[in-house]
Amino acid sequence: MTTTTAPRFNLYWFASPQTFYALAGRLIPWFMALAVVLTLAGLYIAFLVAPTDATQGESYRIIFVHVPAAWMSMFLYVVMAFWAAVGLAFNTRLSSMLATAIAPTGALMTALALWSGSLWGRPTWGSYWVWDARLTSELILLFLYLGFIALQAAIDDRRRADKAGAVLAIIGVVNVPIIYFSVKWWNTLHQGASVSVKGSSMATTMLWGMLIMALAFWMYSIAAVLFRVRTIILERERRSDWVRELAAQEKLK
Amino acid sequence: MNWGSWDAFWSMGGYGLYVWGSYAMAAIIIAIEIRQLKSRRRAALLEVERERARARSTS
């Protein structure tokens, strides 16, 4: 009788910060390269291929920044809350670190969605800001991100900071469907969704430009989050031997 | 092709300020984030080195 099991692919192996640090380091250049290529393709379509809009003229071209940023702001929040919840439930260090790493990128995407939306609102609605359900809930999303960052920064004990942040992140998740469905539930000035499971109400080239830009933002966000999580691993594991060896090697470069 | 000249391209049918203001902010935000990411990593590596030196001197 033998008790050894055949070596097989083990997902838990990647849950070790040391393993994940190396894996993330290898992945970052690929995601960044994809982000650059997709951005160039997206900008090409956005400005040179997509036609002028019949009703909004050229101002609609803000869509190629605005919608990808708004999508990422919501998506990143859900991913952040997911990893925070996993960290809270299973006490896995890496999950909590991922949640912490996502927050700044999510906050920046939210800020960009609000900024570009405001610059789009001025020519189309005549106002930079209205207290419309969509805009207000997106502003609350920004405060949730900032609250998460501030709360974690205020607590010295890392494990307690992770737990407190996780509770805030999980409660805040209710805001995401509110943002998404706000244009249906309330009579908003903000237009309804142009893209849904039933199809799209946009011209094909406009839609493609938007989707490619969304993919570019996605790849960039992954690269940024992986880069930040590597730094967080260095910060939190700074007393371990492997981090000390790694830092010494970095110094020689 | 949408634009007859560079002027037409930059003016965006009179919406230049709004359109370029959005794209410029996207570029600024990404530039700030990348700078912040790099400086935080440098600071983390320095901190590891500092603690290692301190650990060596006390032991």
B54 inside domain: yes
Q: Which site among B17, B35, B36, B45 would you substitute to test the A interface, given the most A Cβ atoms closer than 10 Å to its Cβ?
A: B45
Give pLDDT tens digits for A169-213. Answer: 999 999 999 999 998 888 888 888 877 766 777 788 999 999 999
Residue B17: give the domain boundaries. 6-58
Contact A172, A81 (CB under 8 A): yes
A108 inside domain: yes
Give pLDDT tens digits for A69-106. Answer: 999 999 999 999 999 999 999 998 999 999 999 999 99
Tell me the sheet residues that pair with A196.
A199
Output the average pLDDT for chain A. Answer: 91
B12 inside domain: yes
B39 inside domain: yes
Read off the pTM.
0.92
In the numeric block, which tokens belong to residue B35?
A: 């700078």
pLDDT band for position A5 (cuts 50, 70, 90): low
B49 inside domain: yes
B47 inside domain: yes
Tell me the sheet residues that pair with A199.
A196
A22 inside domain: no
A1 inside domain: no
Whether residues A238 and B29 touch (CB distance < 8 A) is answered with no
B15 in contact with A, Cβ within 8 Å: yes
A21 inside domain: no
B1 inside domain: no
Whether residues A105 and B52 touch (CB distance < 8 A) is answered with no
SS3 A143: helix
CA A61 – CA A49 distance, rounded (Å) = 11
Domains contained in chain A, number: 1
pLDDT band for position A10 (cuts 50, 70, 90): low
A187 inside domain: yes
Residue A71: give the domain boundaries. 27-51+61-248
A9 inside domain: no
Domains contained in chain B, number: 1
SS3 A240: coil
A56 inside domain: no
Instruction: Identify the pLDDT of residue A153.
Output: 96
ipTM of predicted assembly, 2 dp = 0.92
A169 inside domain: yes
CA A109 – CA A73 distance, rounded (Å) = 5
Instruction: Give how far Cα B25 sits from Cα of A47, B29, B37, B48, Å.
Output: 17, 6, 18, 35
CA A176 – CA A71 distance, rounded (Å) = 10
